[in-house]
Amino acid sequence: MAILKFRVYWEEEDAIYRDVLVKHTQLFSDFHQIILKAFEFDQKHEATFFRSNDKWQRGREISKEVYQKEYPVAPLLMEETTIASEIMDTNQHFIYLYDFNKSWTFLVELIQVIKNADADMTIEYPSIARVEGVGPMQYGTKGLLGEKFADIEEKYDLSEADEGFGEEGEEDDTNASDDEDDSNDSDDNGGFFDDSSEAF
């Protein structure tokens, strides 16, 4: 048995990602559930994986179910397909699409294979190994706060700053530039390349 470590990026911001661990014998349905858990999404919507390559082109689907749409090739089903059966190389890529109306898209990359002797068998797999960045909100802030937020925004005119607070604004600008410098420093860590160098 081997443990597969995947890095799952949010397509719109590759600094936001989750590392997840799965057994190679587990199913794509397990993979699907741990990705949603890692990004704190519900499990109410359609979902499918695509086999992919280094250029993120979409190949055959591994789908939650057969949906009412045209398929170039009949999809595999998550409940019947083991993850290992779709690993063609040591940095295998998949694209994960969730909620076809919203088209939440995640780029999935195999970054490490942990042999049985080195695997931590005290962990219950699949599991979340790392959380990086604040993930997208599935339903957005307005959906969570409802109409009350819109009323507050209108009442206090949050879209425009009040006059007479120049000095405080200048301090904020300074802090913002400091934050920018800090974020630039953190980007230099290399992210994926640190893990990939350990993998093989």
Q: Lowest-pLDDT range, 14-28, 35-49, 76-90, 158-172?
A: 158-172
Position 195 in a domain? no
Is the domain of 122 the same as that of 173? no
Q: Which domain holds residue 177?
A: 141-186
Lowest mean pLDDT among 8-12, 103-107, 140-144, 195-199: 195-199
75: left (phi over 0), alpha (psi -120 to 50) or beta: beta
Q: Quick check: is 165 in a domain?
A: yes
Number of domains in the chain: 2
Q: Are residues 74 and 125 in the same domain?
A: yes
pLDDT at 195: 42
- Shared domain check, 123 and 67: yes
* Position 194 in a domain: no
Nearest residue to 108 via CA among 183, 3, 26, 4:
4
As a three-state string, the secondary structure of 43-112 is: CCCCEEEEEECCCCCCCCEEECCCCCCCCCCCCEEHHHCECHHHCCCCCCEEEEEECCCCCEEEEEEEEE
Same domain, 19 and 104: yes
Model confidence at 42: pLDDT above 80: yes
pTM: 0.70
Asked if the model's pLDDT at residue 58 lies above 90, the reply is yes
Q: What is the pLDDT of residue 141?
A: 57
Same domain, 130 and 68: yes
Asked, for residue 102, whether it belongs to a domain, the answer is: yes
- Residue 178: its pLDDT value, please? 52
Q: What is the pLDDT of residues 176-195, one digit of tens each?
A: 445 545 544 444 443 332 44
